[in-house]
Amino acid sequence: MNRDGGIELPRLGMVQVSGLTFAELKSLLRGKFKEYYPEFQISLTMGRIRSIQVFVVGQARFPGSYELSSLSTTMVTAVFAAAGPLKNGSLRDVRLIRNGRMIESLDLYEFFLEGNMRRDKRLKTGDIIFFPVIGPVVGVAGNVKRPAIYEIREGETLQEAIDLAGGVLAIGHLQNVVVERIEDHRRRIVKSFNISVEQQTTKDLATSLKDGDLIKVFPVYKEAEKVVYLEGHVKYPRSYEFRPGMRISDLVPSYEALLPEPYLPKAEIVRLVPPDFHPELILFNLGKMLEGDINEDLRLQDRDRVIIYDRWEKKDLPEVIIRGEVKNPGTYRLFQNMTVRDLIFQAGNFTERAFKENASISRIVPGNKRTENLVIPFSPAKAIRGDARDNVALEPDDSVYIRRIPLYQQALDRKVTLEGEFRFPGEYSYSEGERLFDVIQRAGGLTAEAYPGGAMFLREEARELQQQRINEYITQLEEDIFTRSSLRASATLDPKDAAIAQQELSNQKELLNKLRAARPTGRMIIDLEELMAVPTSQKNFRLMPGDRIIVRSRPDFVNVLGEVFNPNAIFVEKGKTVRYYIDFVGGPRKTADKGQMYLVKANGRVFSNAQSSFMGFAGWDSERKRFSTGSFNKIPVEPGDTIIVPKRLDEGKTLRKIATVTQIVFQIAFAAGVLVAALK
């Protein structure tokens, strides 16, 4: 094969195969040989395809040396191999340089925009594709088919730039195409051109563009002409073509064009009156026009707006109200012949709490001098059944109230919670006046592991009262701290007393912070053992909503806290007394106040040494309303009990003593779980 793409064959001579595909070449040779050899069969193979080396330089995206196929290598394939030019590279002057001379200048716009490859030359080994710097550019913006920035050649015109952008869209305004231009690198000027078909001139479209020009094609004004509008309470509110001699009946020929309940006495035409097109309002009677009154069927003008209103836009919508025990209480529209039953149905029907025996309608009766309020009783149950007497016809502004079943919410709230060692623990409802023993019996009674002596009873009302007392105590303590701070600031104290006063104030503030963080439980002291043994006793009290009783399994230890040598929990021993357990932990320390020792029972009841009589011979049992013999130390201790041995207070100033007392009381009471009782 020679350099010109021809091959020399016996008897056939020179055959040109340049530009053919492999299949086309095979078909060509088979036809040529069969002219001489009818039974000829051809087998054609292709050897190694020769490649050529070309160079891509200049403002290319990937400049360099490229090995390309010799069969179909052209300028365009080399451009694609190098990924085209950079942003500042030219698309309209891609040059082919061969042996130091420019052979061709390729305008890629012709290829990309028109598919024209007439200047696409085949390449040879050693050819150079050169991308020069981009030439002058113009921007085409707005309502054209391809808005973009385009490179132009020297002397290209407005027409050619618009053609590059694909032409103007149908909505483009041709009467004022604007070209913004930078002049002398100093200022921006604007030039306008009319390129409409009837007005365009060769001069306008032939205007030469300059580098940096911005061509703007604006849209046609959106307001339509030769149009009338139908708006409001109609089936098809939209724009319609305006025709000379057009009347309202052309838009609204009958009631079929209207939505239900139009306002017939009046409708409107909003007309723009030239020359300034100010709006004017023209009224007409829609009802008479539909009945055929030609005087009301007015002629329309271009851009008229015909507006039809809903009846209730021009008149107050009658309403009724329903409140109380319906699913959707509120205000509803009053329809013609609407009754109580209809309104209840509109409101979603009754709730399960509704009292259906009687209800009432409140009706406003206007008079000449004053307005009266009439109350109409009725039975909701009978109204729902359609009883004519109770299914009252409603009037505007009637207010229906459906009552709630008496004490319904209170019945819902009557619940008590049993936790712990009950045969069937859980939440139980109870009847008005029912007592604790009855509910425990419904829960199957106590289990064999239950420890009634340590039962804990919590009541919400007591918790709220305890929180109130804590809040009152906090307020009192805050006032006391403020007063003492003021006195200390005004008093002259020696350094020792000042330090003591400062420490006492810090103690009170610490107590205040602890009180604020404390949350009472609402615990009340009960004797569950006696209650279960004698259900008729006063211990079997009435229940209240939210009551909660907790019965744990029998503990096997007692607690000894405070000023003893080894504060600890000790395994309980039957029949052992306070003295035994105090001795068990080493006895009281020197700092202990033995006269203020006390015992907190598992159920919250407290016995103190201060209750013992003179010399310990007898004591008053306030629970049993009788004297009992023996001292505090001889009181039997039971599982879950806690013995408290408080710290003795040193004699000193009143201020110091009060601070220490409050701190110790808080610590001991909090440890024993009887914070509220200690503060009362």
Contact 267, 306 (CB under 8 A): yes
Output the six-digit token pair for 666: 């808080």
Which alpha helices (DSSP H) does 415-459 contain, by range?
Answer: 436-442
Where in the chain are the domains? 1-47, 51-131, 137-217, 227-313, 319-406, 550-679
pLDDT one-digit tens code per residue, 521-551: 788 888 888 888 888 777 888 888 888 899 9
The fold adopted by the segment(s) 550-679 is: Outer membrane lipoprotein wza fold like (3.10.560)
Cβ atoms within 10 Å, residue 373: 9
pLDDT one-digit tens code per residue, 551-581: 989 888 999 999 999 998 999 898 899 999 9
So what's the pLDDT on residue 669?
A: 45
- Residue indicated by tokens 């001889």: 634
So what's the pLDDT on residue 199?
A: 58
So what's the pLDDT on residue 657?
A: 47
So what's the pLDDT on residue 69?
A: 80
State phi, psi for 197 to the nearest 5 degrees. Answer: -60, -40
Inter-CA distances, 83 with 6, 78, 87, 252, 404, Å: 32, 9, 12, 64, 82
d(C-alpha 2, C-alpha 66), whole Å: 23
So what's the pLDDT on residue 667?
A: 46
Mean pLDDT of the chain: 83
Which alpha helices (DSSP H) does 448-533 contain, by range?
Answer: 460-490, 495-517, 528-533
Is the pLDDT score of 279 beyond 80? yes
Inter-axis angle of helices 460-490 and 495-517, nearest 10 = 160
d(C-alpha 348, C-alpha 205), whole Å: 73
- Residues of the chain with pLDDT > 90, as a percent, come to 39
Inter-CA distances, 225 with 120, 143, 218, 272, Å: 51, 21, 18, 12
Output the six-digit token pair for 308: 């039809």
Fold equal for 319-406 and 550-679: yes
Is the pLDDT score of 480 beyond 90? no
pLDDT one-digit tens code per residue, 585-596: 898 998 888 888
CATH superfamily of the 51-131 domain: Outer membrane lipoprotein wza domain like (3.10.560.10)
Q: What is the 3-state secondary structure (H, E, C) of 552-567?
A: CECCCEEEEEECECCC
Q: Is the peptide bond before 275 cis (omega within 30 degrees of 0)?
A: yes
Model confidence, pTM: 0.42
Inter-CA distances, 299 with 240, 254, 281, Å: 15, 17, 14
Cα 588–chain centre separation? 63
d(C-alpha 20, C-alpha 18), whole Å: 6
So what's the pLDDT on residue 316?
A: 64
Contact 243, 226 (CB under 8 A): no
Choice among 71-80, 489-498, 592-601 with the minimum mean pLDDT:
489-498
So what's the pLDDT on residue 432?
A: 79
**CATH code for the domain defined by 319-406:** 3.10.560.10
Q: Cβ-count burial of 32 within 10 angstroms (0-12 exposed, 13-18 middle, 19+ buried)?
A: middle
So what's the pLDDT on residue 409?
A: 64
Which residue from 343, 470, 474, 350 is spatially nearest to 400, judged by alpha carbons? 343
Averaged pLDDT for residues 93-103: 93
So what's the pLDDT on residue 615?
A: 44
Inter-CA distances, 217 with 192, 360, 630, Å: 10, 72, 113
Is the pLDDT score of 666 beyond 70? no
Inter-CA distances, 496 with 480, 501, 502, 528, Å: 22, 9, 10, 54
Please tell me what DSSP assigns to residue 350: B
- CATH number for the 137-217 domain, one of 3.10.560.10, 3.40.50.2300, 3.60.15.10, 3.20.20.70? 3.10.560.10
Cα 401–chain centre separation? 36
So what's the pLDDT on residue 31?
A: 79
Which H/E stretch holds residue 678? Answer: helix 675-679
d(C-alpha 155, C-alpha 138), whole Å: 12
d(C-alpha 228, C-alpha 241), whole Å: 6
Is the pLDDT score of 180 beyond 90? yes
Contact 447, 578 (CB under 8 A): no
d(C-alpha 69, C-alpha 182), whole Å: 47
So what's the pLDDT on residue 362?
A: 93
Give the strand pairing for 137-142 and 214-217: parallel
Contact 375, 361 (CB under 8 A): yes
Which alpha helices (DSSP H) does 195-255 contain, by range?
Answer: 202-205, 248-251
So what's the pLDDT on residue 4?
A: 63
State phi, psi for 224 to the nearest 5 degrees. Answer: -80, 155
Residue 568 CB partners (closer than 8 Å, separation 6+): 559, 560, 585
d(C-alpha 6, C-alpha 123), whole Å: 17
pLDDT one-digit tens code per residue, 364-409: 888 777 778 899 999 999 999 989 899 999 999 999 999 988 766 6
Choice among 303-307, 339-343, 566-570, 607-611 with the minimum mean pLDDT:
607-611
Is the pLDDT score of 213 beyond 70? yes
Partnered with residue 111 across adjacent β-strands are none
Inter-axis angle of helices 654-672 and 495-517, nearest 10 = 30
Contact 152, 165 (CB under 8 A): no
The fold adopted by the segment(s) 227-313 is: Outer membrane lipoprotein wza fold like (3.10.560)
Averaged pLDDT for residues 204-230: 90
So what's the pLDDT on residue 675?
A: 37
Which residue from 431, 436, 426 is spatially nearest to 411, judged by alpha carbons? 431
pLDDT one-digit tens code per residue, 131-179: 999 999 999 999 999 999 999 998 899 999 999 999 999 999 998 999 9
Is the pLDDT score of 671 beyond 50? no
Is the pLDDT score of 414 beyond 70? yes
Please tell me what DSSP assigns to residue 517: H
pLDDT one-digit tens code per residue, 322-337: 999 999 999 998 888 8
- Residues of the chain with pLDDT > 70, as a percent, come to 86
So what's the pLDDT on residue 614?
A: 45
Is the pLDDT score of 261 beyond 90? no
| Highest mean pLDDT (candidates 3-17, 22-36, 93-107, 646-660) | 93-107
Confidence of residue 227 (pLDDT cuts 50, 70, 90): very high
